[in-house]
Amino acid sequence: MEPRVGPIAKEDPEYHPYHHPAAGWGAAKSVTQFLVRERELVDGPRAIMKMNHENTGFDCPGCAWPDDTKGLKLDICENGIKHVTWEMTRKRVEPEFFAAHTVTELFEWSDFQLEDQGRLTEPMVYDPDTDRYVPISWKDAFELVGSTLRGLENPNQASFYTSGRLGNEATFLYQLMARELGTNNLPDCSNMCHEASGRAMEASLGTGKGTVDLKDWESADALFIMGVNAASNAPRMLTALAEAYHRGAQIVHINPLVEAAATRTIVPHDFMDMALFKTTKTSTLNLQVRIGGDLALLRGMAKAVLEESKLDPKALDQEFIDRHTTGFAAYRELCENTSWEELERQSGVSRDDILKAARVYCEADRSIVSWCLGVTQHEHGVDTVREIINLLLLRGNLGREGAGPSPVRGHSNVQGNRTCGIDHRPDDAFLDRLAEYCKIDPPREHGLDTIGTIQAMRRGDVKVFVGMGGNFALAAPDSPITYEALRNCDLTVQVSTKLNRSHLVHGRQALILPCLGRTEKDHQRKGLQSTSVEDSMSMVHMSVGMKRPASPHLLSEPAIVAGMARAALPASPTPWEWYIEDYDRIRDTMSQALDGFEDFNRRVRLPLGFRLKQPARELVFLTPSGGAEFSDAALPDVVPAPGTLALGTMRSHDQWNTTIYSDNDRYRGVKNLRELVFMNKDDMRERGISEFDPVDITSTARDGSHRYLNGYLAIPYDIPRGCAAGYMPEMNVLCALVDYSTQSDQPIMKHVKVTIEAAT
Ligand X SMILES: Nc1nc2c(c(=O)[nH]1)N[C@H]1C(S)=C(S)[C@@H](COP(=O)(O)OP(=O)(O)OC[C@H]3O[C@@H](n4cnc5c(=O)[nH]c(N)nc54)[C@H](O)[C@@H]3O)O[C@H]1N2
How far, in Å, CA of 391 to CA of 299, rounded?
8
63 binds ligand X (CB under 6 A): yes
- Could you say which residues in the range 346-405 bind ligand X, by CB under 6 A? 372-375, 377
Which residue of 48, 145, 189, 493 would you call a contact of ligand X, by CB under 6 A?
189
Burial 336-352 (b: 16+ CB within 10 A, else e): eebeeeebbbbbbbeee
Give which of 662, 666, 536, 537 is closest to 232, Cα–Cα.
Answer: 666
Which residue of 142, 160, 472, 621 would you call a contact of ligand X, by CB under 6 A?
472
Q: Which C-beta is closer to ligand X: that of 79 or that of 309?
A: 79
How far, in Å, CA of 590 to CA of 584, rounded?
10
Binding window for ligand X (CB under 6 A); candidates: 276-284, 458-466, 493-501, 527-535: 493-501
CB 393 within 8 A of CB 44: no
Burial 193-226 (b: 16+ CB within 10 A, else e): bbbbbbbbbbbbbbbbbbbbbbebbbbbbbbbbb
Q: Which C-beta is closer to Mo ion: that of 362 or that of 408?
A: 408
89 binds ligand X (CB under 6 A): no
Give which of 696, 675, 537, 547 is closest to 612, Cα–Cα.
Answer: 537
- Could you say which residues in the range 555-614 bind ligand X, by CB under 6 A? 557
354: Cβ contacts below 8 Å, ≥ 6 apart? 287, 297, 300, 301, 304, 343, 344, 347
292 binds ligand X (CB under 6 A): yes
Which residue of 40, 180, 273, 294 would you call a contact of ligand X, by CB under 6 A?
294
Binding window for ligand X (CB under 6 A); candidates: 45-53, 274-282, 647-655, 665-673: 647-655
Angstrom CA distances, 170 to 63, 216, 345, stand at 19, 31, 48
Q: What burial class does residue 426 get, using C-beta atoms within 10 Å of its C-beta: 0-12 exposed, 13-18 middle, 19+ buried? A: buried
Which residue of 21, 155, 227, 549 would you call a contact of ligand X, by CB under 6 A?
227
Gyration radius of the chain's alpha carbons: 25
Partner whose binding site includes residue 574, from ligand X, Mo ion, none (CB under 5 to 8 Å by kind): none
- Could you say which residues in the range 143-172 bind ligand X, by CB under 6 A? 163, 165
Nearest approach in angstroms of CB 416 to ligand X is 13
Which residue of 23, 47, 186, 192 would you call a contact of ligand X, by CB under 6 A?
192
186 binds ligand X (CB under 6 A): no
Question: Which residues pair with residue 337 across a beta bridge?
Answer: none
Nearest approach in angstroms of CB 203 to ligand X is 21
Partner whose binding site includes residue 59, from ligand X, Mo ion, none (CB under 5 to 8 Å by kind): none
Nearest approach in angstroms of CB 371 to ligand X is 7
60 binds ligand X (CB under 6 A): no
For helices 428-438 and 583-593, give the axis angle rounded to 10 degrees.
Answer: 130
Count of residues in contact with ligand X, rule CB under 6 A: 63
Binding window for ligand X (CB under 6 A); candidates: 52-60, 667-675, 710-718, 727-735: 727-735
Q: Which C-beta is closer to ligand X: that of 291 or that of 305?
A: 291
Length of the chain: 760
Q: Which C-beta is closer to Mo ion: that of 265 or that of 496?
A: 496
Nearest approach in angstroms of CB 165 to Mo ion is 11
Give which of 341, 308, 316, 283 is closest to 391, Cα–Cα.
Answer: 316
How far, in Å, CA of 610 to CA of 620, rounded?
20
Which residue of 392, 515, 555, 676 would you call a contact of ligand X, by CB under 6 A?
515
Strand ranges in 59-117 using DSSP code E only, listed in sequence order? 92-93
Chain residues that interact with Mo ion, rule: CB under 5 A? 193, 410
The Cβ of residue 131 has, within 10 Å, a number of other Cβ atoms equal to 13
The Cβ of residue 453 has, within 10 Å, a number of other Cβ atoms equal to 28
How far, in Å, CA of 382 to CA of 379, rounded?
8
How far, in Å, CA of 455 to CA of 604, rounded?
39
- Could you say which residues in the range 402-461 bind ligand X, by CB under 6 A? 410-411
Nearest approach in angstroms of CB 728 to ligand X is 3
Binding window for ligand X (CB under 6 A); candidates: 305-313, 604-612, 664-672, 730-738: 730-738
- Could you say which residues in the range 67-86 bind ligand X, by CB under 6 A? 79
The Cβ of residue 492 has, within 10 Å, a number of other Cβ atoms equal to 26
Q: Which C-beta is closer to ligand X: that of 327 or that of 729?
A: 729
229 binds ligand X (CB under 6 A): yes
735 binds ligand X (CB under 6 A): yes
Nearest approach in angstroms of CB 409 to Mo ion is 7
656 binds ligand X (CB under 6 A): yes
Nearest approach in angstroms of CB 366 to ligand X is 22
Strand ranges in 448-505 using DSSP code E only, listed in sequence order? 464-468, 491-496
256 binds ligand X (CB under 6 A): yes
Question: Which residues pair with residue 266 across a beta bridge?
Answer: 23
191 binds ligand X (CB under 6 A): no
Nearest approach in angstroms of CB 77 to ligand X is 8
Partner whose binding site includes residue 380, from Mo ion, ligand X, none (CB under 5 to 8 Å by kind): none
The DSSP call for residue 290 is: P
263 binds ligand X (CB under 6 A): no
Q: What burial class does residue 267 get, using C-beta atoms within 10 Å of its C-beta: 0-12 exposed, 13-18 middle, 19+ buried? A: buried
CA–chain centroid gap for 635, Å, is 26
Nearest approach in angstroms of CB 747 to ligand X is 7
Strands across the sheet with 539-543, in order?
531-534, 539-543, 610-611
Give which of 288, 295, 285 is closest to 346, Cα–Cα.
Answer: 295
Partner whose binding site includes residue 709, from Mo ion, ligand X, none (CB under 5 to 8 Å by kind): none
How far, in Å, CA of 562 to CA of 578, rounded?
10
Contact residues for ligand X, defined by CB under 6 A: 62-63, 79, 115, 163, 165, 189, 192-193, 226-229, 232-234, 254-257, 259, 289, 291-292, 294, 372-375, 377, 410-411, 468-472, 475, 495-498, 500, 515, 517-518, 557, 648-651, 655-659, 728-729, 731-732, 735, 749-750
